[in-house]
Every structure is written in C-alpha cells, then in structure tokens.
Structure 1
Amino acid sequence: MAKVKQWLKYGLIAFLIFYLISQPEASADVIQTGLGGLMGAAESLSRFVNALSV
C-alpha cells in the first residue's frame, strides 16, 4: 500500500509539472485564485481577532 501511495504522489507531481509547462496561463490563473482565497481567509481571520480584542 505504501508503494501505491508513493507512485500516486510521483504521478501527481509529474502531472502538475506537465500542466505548468503545457498551460502556463491556466496554471497562473489557478495559482492567482488560490492565493486570492488565502488572502481573503487571512483578512477574515484578522477581522475576527480584532473584533475579539475590542
């Protein structure tokens, strides 16, 4: 079972590298969307902590 997980991990990494090379615009959009989501989550957490301290 461990070998299957290892091969799946390698396959996923290979697919991501292939996707980044073959579709640079689409992969940039995916990364930009992901970072936007993380920024939104960080902003929400910051507002929550600030509301607790008031």
Structure 2
Amino acid sequence: MSLKKVLVWLAIAFVVFYVIQQPESSAEMVKNAGQALGDAASSIAAFVSSLA
C-alpha cells in the first residue's frame, strides 16, 4: 500500500472521529465554510458585473 493511500485513509478516519466526538462544532465548521464560499462567489459576481 502506498504512503499516499495510507495518509488519505488516516485523514478520513480523523474526520470521522472528529465528527463523532464533536458533532456541533463540526456542523458549525461546515456552515462557516459554506458561508465563506458563498461570500466569495458573491464577491466574484460583483466584480464581474462591475466590469461590464
């Protein structure tokens, strides 16, 4: 098994463990990430529309 595969499986195991141990903070982190992506998309859309 390659090192890359082992690291990927370890990362997945860590995420699953974190979600099981702290579901509220995990949900808050996902919510914040989604909000940041939405804000970035809105900013890019405003930039592109200001070019026209």
Aligned to 1:24: 23
Identity of aligned residues (%): 38
Matches of 1:23 and 1:4, distance apart in 2: 28
TM-score, normalised via structure 1 length = 0.88
Deviations 1:2-40 (A, max 9, x none): 711110000000110111111100101110110111011
Instruction: Mark the runs of 5 or more structure 2 residues left unpaired by the alignment.
Output: none
The two structures, once aligned, show a CA RMSD in angstroms of 1.2
Aligned equivalents of 1:47 and 1:21: distance in 2?
Answer: 39
The structure 1 segments of at least 4 consecutive aligned residues displaced by more than 6 Å after TM superposition are none
